[in-house]
Amino acid sequence: MWRRDFIVLGYEGVSFREMKDYELDRLPDEQLIAYVTKARRAGNLDAAHLGLSIFANRRFDDLVRRALAKMPSRSDAEDVVAQTIRDVFKAAFDGQSVGEAVNFTNRILSRRIADWHDARKQTDVLPEDQDDEEHWGRDAATVDDETARVDLAAAVTQVYDELESDYHRQVVDDYVFDGYSAQETAERVNTSFPDLDPPMSDQNVHKIASRFRRDLRNAL
């Protein structure tokens, strides 16, 4: 099928090929961010906006959910996430290396949430949220200071990195976070690590997972 490819040379001489939405949706975050940056530098704002939309569509809801765990109201969480997405693209546009985009986005989100809590300490409680399910002021039942204060992602990363082998990490990935059963996890690990001796068993999966959770609780 005939497809139009737009090759544009921007003011910095950046070659830029405009992509369709379904193509952009297949790009990992890093490449999507790079695409938007290139589009902006090439002066193609329509293409940049489409790339931004696809990134926002992909990430916005989950970022808001994460912020909601540490903030009292949806409008505050949405503000912080909007700022996070804005900062991710600004950093890329300014030439900062975003590295692995998921980690970069996580770092920015954590900083913005911390900034929000700092700013909150300095101002009186003022209403700014009119969501249906919410009401004015801080709802103490929905967030506690400890949850907001602890850098959860850092704690998990630390415990995860300290796991003694790659197959332990795969157990945590598959069983704890990706929802595979113990049996499926054992099979998957044995496929990934065919030389494992003895092979992974259901019981071992349970042991590794509960040790991970115990260590995580200690880290928290």
177 touches other proteins by CB under 8 A: yes
Tokens of 202: 């259901």
6 forms bridges with which residues in the sheet?
18
Site string for other proteins, 190-209 (x = CB under 8 A): --------------------
152 touches other proteins by CB under 8 A: yes
81 touches other proteins by CB under 8 A: yes
8 touches other proteins by CB under 8 A: no
Answer for the pair 184, 200: CB distance below 8 angstroms, yes or no. Answer: no
Residue range at the interface with other proteins (CB under 8 A); choices 162-170, 181-189, 195-203, 211-219? 211-219
Q: Give 3-state DSSP helix, strand, coil % of the chain, rounded to 5.
A: 65, 5, 30
182 touches other proteins by CB under 8 A: no
140 touches other proteins by CB under 8 A: no
Answer for the pair 105, 84: CB distance below 8 angstroms, yes or no. Answer: yes
| Number of residues that make up the chain | 220
Tokens of 29: 């975050």
119 touches other proteins by CB under 8 A: yes
Q: Which member of 34, 60, 91, 193 binds other proteins (CB under 8 A)?
A: 60
98 touches other proteins by CB under 8 A: no
